[in-house]
Amino acid sequence: MRLVDGKELHRRLPDVGGISALESTETSIFDPFLYTIALAENAVTNGATFKFGEEVKAIDRNINQEEARFTVSTNKNKYDTQYVINCAGLGSARIAQMLGFEQYKIYPCRGEYLILDKISDKYLQVPVYPAPKKGIGGLGVHLTPTIHGNIIIGPSAEYLDDGEDYASTKPIIEKLFCEAKQLLPTLERKHIIGAYAGIRSKQAPPSEGGFHDFVIKEEPECPGFINLIGIESPGMTASMPIARMVKEIIGKTTELKPKKSFNPKRKGILKFSEQTDEKKDQLIKSNPEYGEVVCRCQQVTKAEIRQAIENPLGVKTIAGVKYRVWTTTGRCNGGYCFARIAEILEREYGIVPEHITLRGEGSELFSGKVK
Amino acid sequence: MEKYDVVVIGAGPGGLAASTAAKKNGAQRVVVLDRNNYCGGVLNQCIHDGFGLLRYKQALTGPEYAVNAEKEATDARVEIMTSTMVLSITTDKIITATSKKGFIKLQAGAIVLATGCRERTRGAISIPGTRPAGIYTAGVVQNLVNIKNIMIGKRVVILGSGDIGLIMARRLTLEGAKVLAVIEIMPEPMGLQRNVSQCVYDFGIPLYVSHTVSCIIGKRKLEAIEMSSVDVNKQPIPGTEKIIECDSLVLSVGLIPENEVALTAGVALDEKTNGVITDDYLQSSIPGIFACGNCRRVMDLADLVSEQGEIAGLNAARFVKGDSLQAFEKKQSVFKKGFPIEGTVTCPLCPNGCSVLEKEGVIEGNKCKRGEKYYLQEQTDPRRTLTTTIKQLDGSLRPVKIENVRRSELFETVRNLNYNS
């Protein structure tokens, strides 16, 4: 970390308001969606199985079973297992309760964000946070350029009664815009292209605020049950170290050997838009579907969309394609590509319109064919 | 690198007219590029009629108008490259594009931008609430229903009473959806009087002016919208909220000139509208790059877009030859918008759109006999021109137009067509 005076601040970030700054020279930004997807796809490639659309309803202990200490029941299946690792986030306290652990409580705390157009290379090349205000117990509303060139403003912090209320609200949208305008005076309404919200799994109740430490623990009374509870920010940054801690925990009672055939690489999807003209021509000649741009705003071709649909997790949704190749996220917000992607899913992957979803069961997009 | 005198980007009504005019005015090699695998642009999904009243003196459907425009271009020996997406243009008028055959690079003497417009999105107007499945813009719904044969839902709310919203209110109703409301933030409808009449009143769809959608409700799938009255500042008035349960919200909240291509050359765009700024000759801030149609300014009538395209094409050809350019004449649409005048019938047969009524046994307001005849027909046995689609043997949809259908038999006619095709 280093202190930056007003002169240097103004020279390096002329559009940002401020009289001085603290610089964190080793902070980076990346794509959180692609990170999670890449981890999951890599796990599948190396033998893991993912089951989507399955809700855990009960976990039973099999007391005299040495090989399968637990039976996990979902709405669709039953699984016998030796270890249960609870990464259920907002539901993590509920999962812990299924095995009788009542001491954990999650207080859902919503954070809203605004999404701005791709003006970051003009106005904001680095994340900018205001100096923390006393008593807030958080980082406050900040501006972050994304890996795709957008800027996001947020988050807010609001404890919720309904732990599944991902709504953006009018007063917060206004508040975010006004606070951001203080950090970036050149900001205008027309730069806002969207809003979204996430919900933190906080362990600190509203009366207390602030943070509790992560719970990363194999329950002594229940060997094999490992709880990861209250993993809010900086949970993403901490995800790898947390995973290694879990490995250490398991390694204490079960012999773990590095798998020789483990493939550490996840095959990414080549971005047509980032290639040279010559490379683009080569790609098209090798596969004509690289010559069909389906997402105009982000210049994503049919070949890439196909790769996104044919992912190792077997996910064939609009969001699944979006998070892998960034379709529907441009200025037209899917105005050109959405209908075309739906048609590809229908015609080329045999998904009838009434089963095409935004992000899985329950988010169906169409009622069927017209005729 | 292939050289062309004039390269037109976009084969909608503007681009096709521009390319035809360029050829007719001395440009030797003229090519029009389009990202779709067909010409006509958005006209192909506009299966309703009312196009061409000025240009062809007929009430054509969008596809029929597009066929005319394309034929004029091919008759004039314009080269057409479909399934070709322009990626960028330069101030030196070099165009790069992709197609299934490979990467394309062209050198143009002059360029005409005819890239049309895109729709304003939910995100851009910051409607509060969740982000469930079930929210669409009207043009996308029109494309899904009329071209891709995909139905969006069963219980629909439409936000915005511009022509696109009104047309889709009728279209969705005819294909079996229940349109629960058309909601408009302004104090009067924004579309043509005759569309308010034939798309909303004809079907008994509630029209709420000075209202807006103040919240979107639903976890993974749309469950309802919250509608509120608005004040003079277009802000929702607390206490006036009404919940309407629905599975689809169709947004018809404005069109924005689409100028992603223009931006790559640094063509000057209007700060407020995002349209290409042009001079009296439809020339942009870069000499030799012209613009016409919706990418310059969103227009109401395809007929006027074609006229404008002709001037842009003519001037592109003149630019290449070094001749002086022709000024273009600004024209206004003549159709009347808003609420149909109570007690009158808006005649749809020509651009005049006369409001015809009967006063003490005398029919007046009409400028010609056809208006009188139309009025009388409306009183005794209202008829409508039905436009819909039928499914062909290969599964694709074909637009059809049936004139003189009894208004009371519209549903049944569509149902029979669906059943029999």
- Write the pLDDT tens digit of every residue in A219-271: 999 999 999 999 998 999 999 999 999 999 999 999 999 999 999 999 999 99
Question: Which letter does DSSP use for residue A64 in this model?
Answer: T
For chain B, how many residues are written? 421
Q: How far apart are CA A31 and CA A271, in angstroms?
A: 15
- Set of chain A residues whose Cβ sits within 8 Å of the Cβ of B418: 371
The residues in A 149-168 lying below 8 A from B, measured between CB atoms, are 164-168
Residue B266, pLDDT score: 97
Q: A interface mutation test: which of B86, B148, B264, B418 has the most A CBs within 10 A?
A: B148
- Set of chain A residues whose Cβ sits within 8 Å of the Cβ of B140: 334-335, 338-339
Candidate from A119-128, A139-148, B123-132, B216-225 with smallest mean pLDDT: A119-128
How would residue A95 be classed by pLDDT, with cut points 50, 70 and 90? very high
B140 at interface of A, judged by CB pairs closer than 8 A: yes
| Cα four-point dihedral sign A57, A61, A62, A67 | positive
CB contact under 8 A, A370 and B389: yes
* Tokens matching residue A81: 């297992």
For range B14-30, the mean pLDDT: 98
Q: How far apart are CA A234 and CA A276, in angstroms?
A: 37
Cβ atoms B249, B235 nearer than 8 A: no
A124 Cβ partners below 8 Å, 6+ apart?
A: A13, A15, A16, A143, A145, A151, A184
Residue type, A150: N
B101 at interface of A, judged by CB pairs closer than 8 A: yes
A333 at interface of B, judged by CB pairs closer than 8 A: yes
- Set of chain B residues whose Cβ sits within 8 Å of the Cβ of A360: 220
Strands (E), B220-299: 224-229, 242-245, 248-251, 255-257, 289-291
Adjacent-strand bridge partners of B157: B181, B249
Cβ atoms B320, B109 nearer than 8 A: yes
* Alpha-carbon torsion angle A248, A252, A255, A261, nearest 10: 0
B389 at interface of A, judged by CB pairs closer than 8 A: yes
CA-angle at A227, arms to A225 and A110, nearest 5°: 150
Q: How far apart are CA B133 and CA B129, in angstroms?
A: 12
- Set of chain A residues whose Cβ sits within 8 Å of the Cβ of B236: 170
- Set of chain B residues whose Cβ sits within 8 Å of the Cβ of A112: none
B385 at interface of A, judged by CB pairs closer than 8 A: no
Mean pLDDT, all residues of chain B: 95
CB contact under 8 A, A366 and B258: no
In three-state secondary structure terms, B42 is helix
pLDDT in tens, B289-347: 999 999 999 998 999 999 999 999 999 999 999 999 999 988 877 778 999 988 899 88
CA B300 to chain centre: 8
Residue B349, pLDDT score: 82
How would residue A137 be classed by pLDDT, with cut points 50, 70 and 90? low
For range A26-50, the mean pLDDT: 95
Cβ atoms A223, A63 nearer than 8 A: no
Measured CA to CA in angstroms, residue A135 lies from A10, A138, A139, B128, B317 at distances of 29, 8, 11, 28, 68
Cβ atoms A293, A299 nearer than 8 A: yes
Q: A interface mutation test: which of B33, B42, B121, B150 has the most A CBs within 10 A?
A: B150
CB contact under 8 A, B150 and A331: no
The residues in A 226-265 lying below 8 A from B, measured between CB atoms, are none
- Set of chain B residues whose Cβ sits within 8 Å of the Cβ of A364: 133, 221
B36 at interface of A, judged by CB pairs closer than 8 A: no
CB contact under 8 A, B220 and A301: no
Of B139, B151, B397, the CB nearest to A366: B151
CB contact under 8 A, A289 and B100: yes
Q: How far apart are CA B388 and CA B399, in angstroms?
A: 6
The phi and psi torsions of A254 (rounded to 5 degrees) equal -125, 135
Residue B128, pLDDT score: 98
pLDDT in tens, A164-190: 999 999 999 999 999 888 888 888 998
Percent of chain A with pLDDT over 90: 80
A130 at interface of B, judged by CB pairs closer than 8 A: no
Which of A342, A296, A350, A294 is closest to A318 using CA atoms? A342
Mean pLDDT, all residues of chain A: 93
Cβ atoms B14, B311 nearer than 8 A: no
Helix (H) or strand (E) run with residue A251 in it: helix A235-253
For residue A70, pLDDT beyond 90: yes
For residue A13, pLDDT beyond 80: yes
CB contact under 8 A, B150 and A301: no
Question: Which letter does DSSP use for residue B236 in this model?
Answer: B
A277 at interface of B, judged by CB pairs closer than 8 A: yes
Residue A141, pLDDT score: 80
Phi-psi region of A45 (alpha: psi -120 to 50; beta: other; left: phi over 0): alpha
Cβ atoms B121, A335 nearer than 8 A: yes
B314 Cβ partners below 8 Å, 6+ apart?
A: B21, B22, B24, B25, B326
User: Which residue do the tokens 């169906």 mark?
Assistant: A364
A80 at interface of B, judged by CB pairs closer than 8 A: no
Adjacent-strand bridge partners of A115: A152, A194
The residues in B 342-381 lying below 8 A from A, measured between CB atoms, are none
B397 at interface of A, judged by CB pairs closer than 8 A: yes
In three-state secondary structure terms, B193 is helix
In three-state secondary structure terms, B333 is coil
In three-state secondary structure terms, B18 is helix
For range B370-398, the mean pLDDT: 94
CA A327 to chain centre: 16
pLDDT in tens, B132-154: 999 999 999 999 999 999 999 99
In three-state secondary structure terms, B44 is helix
Phi-psi region of A107 (alpha: psi -120 to 50; beta: other; left: phi over 0): beta
For residue A135, pLDDT beyond 70: no
- Set of chain A residues whose Cβ sits within 8 Å of the Cβ of B132: 358, 363
CA-angle at A120, arms to A116 and A126, nearest 5°: 115
For residue B268, pLDDT beyond 90: yes
- Tell me the DSSP string of A292-318: -EEETTTTEEHHHHHHHHT-TT---SH
Q: How far apart are CA A23 and CA A2, in angstroms?
A: 5
Number of cross-chain residue pairs from A and B with Cβ atoms under 8 Å apart: 159
A307 Cβ partners below 8 Å, 6+ apart?
A: A269, A324, A325
Of A296, A353, A367, the CB nearest to B154: A367
Residue B403, exposed/middle/buried by CB under 10 A (0-12, 13-18, 19+)?
Answer: exposed
CA-angle at A336, arms to A334 and A341, nearest 5°: 75
In three-state secondary structure terms, B153 is coil
Q: A interface mutation test: which of B126, B274, B294, B415 has the most A CBs within 10 A?
A: B126
Pick the residue from chain A with its C-alpha nearest to B146: A370
The residues in A 173-212 lying below 8 A from B, measured between CB atoms, are 173, 192-196
- Set of chain B residues whose Cβ sits within 8 Å of the Cβ of A371: 149, 175, 389-391, 397, 418, 421
Of A193, A280, A366, the CB nearest to B98: A280
Q: Higher-confidence residue: A63 or B261?
A: B261
Q: Higher-confidence residue: A184 or B400?
A: B400
CB contact under 8 A, A291 and B134: no
pLDDT in tens, A290-324: 999 999 999 999 999 999 999 999 999 999 999 99
CA B91 to chain centre: 30
Q: What ipTM does the predicted assembly reach? A: 0.95
Question: Which letter does DSSP use for residue B196 in this model?
Answer: I
Of B103, B105, B121, the CB nearest to A333: B121
Which of B194, B228, B205 is closest to B157 using CA atoms? B205
